[in-house]
């Protein structure tokens, strides 16, 4: 597992984005906490994330490559439009899908998907890749999430190709906004 700071990542940006597109599994920073990521279109990469987390069924969220991507793939209600205007930000918007835009294993075959566009430079990386990227907290199911390299679970560490590390994160997971029926805010 390689550990890259922002400058090291930028020196290899093109080759790292290519590796992400091909299915590498990595840890990335966001505006809230660290996430495990991979190309959300590749079932094998998603399966690897599920194995690392010990999470076989609960759906994963994705960082969307753009607002256009969200509009192409999700049903946008009036309430959803209002929340989309707040992006980028520390929110995960649960939206109904209008087509299959991620591997079935991302959302366990549901007709909804959690969408993020973090207020963080990582969103630009996802936009450059032009694919949705899984974003789920770095932890085994029902364990504390990673805030620094010191508390990275060894079982996860062994399955990660690289970490983009910015030091200790003091944030908390994004706020989930359910926009499939009536708006519901879920605090975690």
- Per-residue pLDDT of 45-93, as tens digits, reads 999 999 999 988 899 999 999 999 999 999 999 999 999 999 999 999 9
CATH number of the domain within which 154 lies? 3.90.870.10
The two tokens of residue 85 are: 């205007």
- The pLDDT value recorded for residue 184 is 55
185 sits in which H/E element = strand 184-186
- The pLDDT value recorded for residue 183 is 52
Query: What is the residue range of 20's domain?
Result: 2-186
Domain count, the chain: 1
Q: Is 65 buried (19+), middle (13-18) or exposed (0-12) by CB count in 10 A?
A: buried
Q: Model confidence at 150, in pLDDT bands (50, 70, 90)?
A: very high
- Please say if the pLDDT value at position 42 is more than 70: yes
Between the alpha carbon of residue 26 and those of residues 36, 40, 158, the distances in Å are 6, 12, 11
Does the predicted model carry a pTM greater than 0.75?
Answer: yes
51 sits in which H/E element = helix 43-53
């Amino acid at each position: 597992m390689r550990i890259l700071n922002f400058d090291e990542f930028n020196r290899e940006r093109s080759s790292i984005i290519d590796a992400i597109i091909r299915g590498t599994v990595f840890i990335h920073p966001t505006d809230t906490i660290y996430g495990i990521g991979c190309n959300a279109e590749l079932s094998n990469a998603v399966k690897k994330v599920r194995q690392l987390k010990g999470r076989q069924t609960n759906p994963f969220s994705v960082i969307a490559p753009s607002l256009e991507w969200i509009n192409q793939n999700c049903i946008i209600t009036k309430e959803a439009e209002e929340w989309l205007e707040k992006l980028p930000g520390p929110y995960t918007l649960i939206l109904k899908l209008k087509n299959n835009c991620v591997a079935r294993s991302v959302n366990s075959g549901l007709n909804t998907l959690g969408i993020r566009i973090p207020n963080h430079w990582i969103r630009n990386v996802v936009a450059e890749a032009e694919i949705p990227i899984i974003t789920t907290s770095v932890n085994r199911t029902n364990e504390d999430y990673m805030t620094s390299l010191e508390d990275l679970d060894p079982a996860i560490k062994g399955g990660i190709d690289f970490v983009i590390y910015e030091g200790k994160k003091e944030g908390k997971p994004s706020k989930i906004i359910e926009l499939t029926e009536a708006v519901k805010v879920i605090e975690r």
